[in-house]
Amino acid sequence: MKKGIIIAIIVILSIIILGLGGYIILDKLVFNTTTRTEPEEVKETTTISKEEAKELLKEFGFEMNVTCEKTVFDYGYSDEFKGIFAIEKAMEKSGEEEPCSKIFTELNQEMVGGMREGTLYKGTSGICMKDDNTKIVSYEEVNKTYNELYGENVPKRSFNGTNVAGQFYHFYDYVDSKDVYASMKCAGCGGSCGTSFTIYKVNEASMEGNELKINVTYYNGQMNRPSGSNDYTLETGKGTKQIECGSLEDCKNKIETEENDYLDHYEIVFNKDKNNYTFKSLTKLMS
Mean pLDDT within 74-89: 96
Helix axes of 139-150 and 79-94: crossing angle, nearest 10 degrees: 120
Q: Residue 258 falls within a domain, yes or no?
A: yes
pTM above 0.75, yes or no: yes
Q: How far apart are CA 203 and CA 201, in angstroms?
A: 6
**For the domain that residue 267 is a member of, what is the CATH number?**
3.10.450
What is the structure's pLDDT at 172? 97
- Of these ranges, 107-116, 167-176, 188-197, the one predicted with the greatest mean pLDDT is 167-176
Q: Residue type at 67?
A: T
221 lies in the same domain as 166: no
96 in the same domain as 131? yes
Closest CA to 239 of 258, 217, 261: 261
Looking at per-residue confidence, does 287 or 3 come out higher? 287
- Asked which of 7-11, 94-98, 147-151, 263-267 is least confident by mean pLDDT, the reply is 7-11
> Given 137, 164, 184, which residue is the final one in a domain?
184
Same domain, 232 and 127: no
Q: Are 210 and 223 in contact (CB under 8 A)?
A: no
| Among 184, 85, 81, 97, residue whose Cα is nearest residue 137 | 97
Measured between its terminal Cα atoms, the distance across the chain in Å is 83
Q: How far apart are CA 33 and CA 27, in angstroms?
A: 7
Residues 234 and 147 in one domain: no
Which of 13-27, 139-153, 200-214 is predicted least confidently? 13-27
Where does the pLDDT of residue 152 fall: very low under 50, low under 70, confident under 90, or very high at 90 and above? very high
> Do 174 and 222 reside in the same domain of the chain?
no
> Domain tally for the chain?
2
Q: Any idea which of 80-84, 184-188, 205-209 has the lowest mean pLDDT?
A: 184-188
Average pLDDT, the chain: 82
**Residues 198-209, buried b or exposed e (16+ Cβ, 10 A)?**
bbeebeebebee
Q: Is residue 29 part of a domain?
A: no
Chosen domain end from 184, 217, 237: 184
Distance (Å) of CA 28 to CA 14, 16, 21, 115: 21, 19, 11, 87
What's residue 219's pLDDT? 86
Q: What is the pLDDT at residue 146?
A: 98
Asked if the structure places residue 25 within a domain, the reply is no
Evaluate if residue 20 carries a pLDDT over 60.
no
Q: For residues 113 and 177, state if they share a domain.
A: yes
Domain for residue 1, yes or no?
no
In Å, how far are 58, 59, 140, 183, 277 from 147, measured between CA atoms? 18, 14, 10, 21, 11
* Rounded-to-integer distance, Cα 6 and Cα 63, Å: 89
Residues 75, 179, single domain; the answer is: yes
Average pLDDT value for residue range 59-77: 92
| Residues 74, 176 share a domain | yes
Q: Examine residue 75 and state whether it is found in any structural domain, yes or no.
A: yes
At 272, is the pLDDT very low, low, confident or very high (cuts 50, 70, 90)? very high
Using 50, 70 and 90 to split pLDDT, how confident is the model at 119? confident
Question: Are 88 and 59 a contacting pair, CB within 8 Å?
Answer: no
Averaged over 53-61, what is the pLDDT? 97
Among candidate residues 184, 217, 234, the one where a domain is terminated:
184
Asked if pLDDT for residue 22 goes beyond 50, the answer is no
Residues 205 and 137 in one domain: no
Whether 74 and 171 share a structural domain: yes
pLDDT score, position 23: 47
Domain housing 92: 70-184
Q: Are 209 and 163 in the same domain? A: no
Q: Are 83 and 171 members of one domain?
A: yes
Whether residue 148 lies inside any domain: the answer is yes
Q: Is residue 42 part of a domain?
A: no
Does 59 reside within a domain? no
Per-position DSSP letters for the chain, written without gaps between them: -HHHHHHHHHHHHHHHHHHHHHHHHHIIIII------PPPPPPPEEE--HHHHHHHHHHTTTT---BTTB-HHHH---HHHHHHHHHHHHHHHH-EEEEHHHH------S-BTTBPTTSEEE-SS-EEETT-EEEEEEHHHHHHHHHHHHSSPPPSS-EEGGGT-TT---EEEEETTTTEEEEEB-SS-------EEEEEEEEEEEEETTEEEEEEEEEEEEEE--TT--EEEEEETTEEEEEE-SSHHHHHHHHHHTSGGG-EEEEEEEEEETTEEEEEEEEEPP-
